[in-house]
Amino acid sequence: MARVEKFEDLEVWQLARSLCIYVEDLFQTTGLDKKLISEEQYKALIEMCELEINKIGAFMYYLRNSDIKGQKFKKD
């Protein structure tokens, strides 16, 4: 396996970045440009998504630091 010097060297990061650019480009040329959704609806959606991202991240942090590790590790 090749040595990774910086985060941007990771293949998963490169693929995710390409996907983000594609989705952003697609959205700019379809959604707002064609007035399918309003700017207010777009901003509300972004806020909802950011809130959900933060909640999922906090939940993952909680699970990682929990004493309970799941059914697989349960002693009967």
pLDDT tens digit sequence for 3-43: 768 868 877 778 888 878 877 876 776 666 667 777 887 78
Are 31 and 1 contained in the same domain? yes
Helix or strand or coil: residue 2? coil
Provide the pLDDT for residue 2.
64
Provide the pLDDT for residue 67.
83
State how many domains the chain has: 2
Question: What CA–CA distance (Å, rounded) separates 40 from 47?
Answer: 11
Are 10 and 32 contained in the same domain? yes
Beta strands, E only, 1-72 = none
Are 28 and 3 contained in the same domain? yes
Could you tell me the pLDDT band of residue 72, with boundaries at 50, 70 and 90? confident
Provide the pLDDT for residue 8.
83
Are 29 and 8 contained in the same domain? yes
Residue-range definition of the domain harbouring residue 60: 37-67
Provide the pLDDT for residue 28.
72
Provide the pLDDT for residue 23.
74
Provide the pLDDT for residue 33.
65
